[in-house]
Chain A
């Protein structure tokens, strides 16, 4: 049994403008000691999904299940959630400064965290706090536990957050864009810390990121989300080298290549759909150059690719390059014939 089994998770919010369907039918497993990366752009639902699993989305309409070590966290008693969260599921967020209380020393905050879950004396907890800071590579940890968050740099603060999340030796660490606010040299340090903790304690990690470079470095398995739904799910190498879904292909193609200067990039035209009025059919169809009739009417299920149970893609396309090229040629011809096609979602989107 996997450590975390999420099935058919749906999250919706009522807003003044209508119902926002933030997560639509998300299913995945996280194995013990492994890293699952969830990639997607802004508004893809990647953060909302994990926050819901940790019981942090208030006022949302939630359905589905998320079994952590056998306990369903969705709709669990707040008391049960409180015991699991922090102790068994640690969390770190993008902005460490707003996740730490500015009025208390970091040592105090870690001690508080430990003592909320374990019956230990302050002295023991304090010693553990210092030990944790030194594990995540903060020099002079004994002294630094008496410092306040503002006395740490951005990278050091993120280490403090990791130390706090790891304080009770959780089985799962949810890291939501942990290095997005950091410079590349500091990002490399923080990713290193996460990797070595995983090796040492066997922690499973859910890494939420928009950065495919970080995914390539860290992930065992990858889930690609778009408009609240999973587009593709695959082991790391499969995703980068044998991906199936046009959105995954588009994301990789739009990266400024590591190779050449001056070549044109291949962006994905248009912009993501509104989660209030989602199109019928595949949510990516309006931006997909291979889309054909069925894509516009029926949303594709997340099916196996090449009969590989580890590789799934929500796309009607067969996995043959010729078929894709034919579709692309036909779509390009239609678009040219129609001038600005009404299927083109935003007039701004399509490049010349």
Chain B
């Protein structure tokens, strides 16, 4: 699996892509694969303050609920409304189906996250357990 470069990854399997002071957040292919068929995505409202490492929403499969963790702090400026009616997009195109866009509060926070290559290694180890 190739994870897109130019993004940062968390140990909780979220990705974040920045352009200027905006961060776009989604979950990784590994995450959608282990969750199975996603049936519902619960996202915060525009204007919500996210704190790095804290939960900001949930993704549900038929028999499991997983929290979403913010890769970085910031204010939600846009939510992918499409996921409300088509949660399956997360399964089909995890790295395209973004969830929220935030105005980054402290872009330096991203330095602590993994690169695509590091994340791929991390995932390989986790799957090995």
* Chain B associates with chain A: no
Q: Which residues of A contact B (CB under 8 A)?
A: none
Q: Which residues of B contact A (CB under 8 A)?
A: none
